[in-house]
Amino acid sequence: MTRTMEVARFEENGFEEPNNGEEVSWDVLEREAASNVSSKRSQSGRPHQQDFSRKGDELSGDLYELWRQEQNSIAARLDKELKSRWELDELIEEQLSRYESHYYMAMVSTSLKDVSNLVIPMWLPPHELAAVAWLGDWRPTSILDLVRILAAHNPSFSLSESSERVLSQFLREIRIEEAVIDEEYAEIQATCVLHLPFSPLCNTRSHEEALHSVQELFENIHKVISKAQRLRYKVLELVMKKLLNQTDTAEFVVAFAGIQDAIHQFGEQKKLKKLYPAVLSPLKGSGSSS
């Protein structure tokens, strides 16, 4: 069996010195090879198919040496490919840890103003915020949408049926977690907000007490924002480590970066146009309520 496979492999490469017992079949193969040479060359790209057309007596130790060299060269190329795969792994790991440090940046905020900047990041143009932002950054479900669309539209993406089911299930779960965070945030915006010191319901007496109540409220906001950030990272980690294979993960990172960039550029361009909200000037003498 092993012998048969070896023969088959040698046939493919065309370097085996034909021995007498197999003379007939070699001849057949040679003729076939000669007639198919052009099509085979274009299909397979193996440069040595045409060597079949040579006469067996020319094949010798030199040729074997050549064959060995070829093998070494292919092995070297494979080795290089493997190394680049490890490099790919390393790059993916590096990017994942960059996502992690980016999304966990929220945890190290120290001032109350930082918290406000996490909700409406000053460094993002308003059009980018309006286009994608949920609590200051991408919606976790949007990240999953991106994966879903990549899988559907990118032919080199190879998401298995079971992975696709996992993705749908995951999308449902994350959607719920997003809604829970929305609820928690609404509670702060609609109820806790009434504990601000200037609220008509607040009985704080000293300035210190007042500042303390603001601090507490912002700490709650910070908790919710951090939860949203952790959810984003959780989605990315699951997509990159569990759901997608190495190549697909790489495709995903390229797409995510490219799309984020395209939306950011769009936002920057819109910002340059300076089309700010405007209102009609009140006519002098017209009865305004103010």
Partner 1 sequence: MPFSLFSRKKPSRRFNDFYNDWSKTLTDNCLPLLRQSLSSAASASVLSTNVDIVLRHLVLYYETLDLAADSNTIPYLLFPSSWRNSLETPFLFLGDIHPYLLTNLLRSFIDRENQDSDEDEDVSLDLLNQPLKIATAWKDPSDELVKRIDQIECTMRLMVPVLLDRMRKTQRRFVSRVTENWVSSYQSGKKKKLAATAASASASVDEAAKDEMEELVSIFVDANRLRKSVIMDIVGATSEHQAALFLEGLCQFLAGFKDQVLLQDFELLSLPN
| Contacting partner 1 within 208-237 (CB under 8 A) | 210-211, 214-216, 218-219, 221-222
Our finding on whether 19 is near partner 1 (CB under 8 A) is no
In the DSSP assignment, the letter for residue 157 is -
Our finding on whether 173 is near partner 1 (CB under 8 A) is no
CB within 8 A of 249, min separation 6: which ones? 92, 239, 240
Figure out which of the listed residues 37, 96, 112, 250 binds partner 1, where binding follows CB under 8 A.
112
Figure out which of the listed residues 66, 129, 166, 238 binds partner 1, where binding follows CB under 8 A.
129
In the complex, the smallest distance separating the C-beta of residue 169 from partner 1, rounded to whole angstroms, is 17
H or E segment and range at residue 284: none
Measured CA to CA, the distance from residue 171 to residue 140 in angstroms comes to 9
The number of angstroms, rounded, from the C-alpha of 181 to the middle of its chain's C-alpha atoms is: 24
Our finding on whether 289 is near partner 1 (CB under 8 A) is yes
Angle made by CA atoms 128, 129, 135, in degrees to the nearest 5: 150
User: For residues 146 and 238, which CB has a smaller minimum distance to partner 1 in the complex?
Assistant: 146
Q: Name residues contacting partner 1, limited to 149-168 (CB under 8 A).
A: 149-150, 153-155
In the complex, the smallest distance separating the C-beta of residue 125 from partner 1, rounded to whole angstroms, is 8
User: For residues 13 and 117, which CB has a smaller minimum distance to partner 1 in the complex?
Assistant: 117
In the complex, the smallest distance separating the C-beta of residue 221 from partner 1, rounded to whole angstroms, is 5
The owner of tokens 């993002």 is 124
User: For residues 59 and 240, which CB has a smaller minimum distance to partner 1 in the complex?
Assistant: 240
Contact pattern from residue 130 through residue 149 relative to partner 1, giving x for each residue in contact according to CB under 8 A and a dash for the rest: xxxxx---xx-xx--xx--x
H or E segment and range at residue 133: strand 133-134
Query: Is residue 138 helix, strand or coil?
Result: strand
* Binding-residue total with partner 1 (CB under 8 A): 81
In the complex, the smallest distance separating the C-beta of residue 290 from partner 1, rounded to whole angstroms, is 4
Tell me the pairing of strands 137-138 and 133-134: antiparallel
CB within 8 A of 138, min separation 6: which ones? 132, 232, 260
Our finding on whether 266 is near partner 1 (CB under 8 A) is yes
In single-letter form, the type of residue at position 192 comes to C
